[in-house]
Amino acid sequence: MSLGSTSLSCKLCGLSEFRASRLRRKDFLRLLFLRLPIRCHACHERTFAPLMAVLRLSRSGHRLAHPARS
């Protein structure tokens, strides 16, 4: 496991598309180590990633909302 790079890939399917997963109470311990739950787009495997990686994920990779035309 490499801590330096923030490129993530699923340990089940190898895909590197994730979205942030919902926090559960038992995730608290991981949060202390700045790790957040994420979920694989393809196989829905839930895993944990460094906070920085998750932040980057939600900024770029996450599905962008349609620009609402009002």
Residues that bind Zn ion (CB under 5 A): 10, 12-13, 15, 40, 42-43, 45
Reduced to 3 states (helix: H, G, I; strand: E, B; else coil), residue 40 is: strand
Rounded Cα distance between 33 and 67, Å, is: 35
User: Which of 25, 53 has the CB closer to Zn ion?
Assistant: 53
Would you give the DSSP letter of residue 59? Answer: I
User: Which of 1, 32 has the CB closer to Zn ion?
Assistant: 1
CA 59 to chain CA centroid, Å, is 11
User: Which of 12, 52 has the CB closer to Zn ion?
Assistant: 12
The least CB distance from residue 60 to Zn ion, in Å, is 19
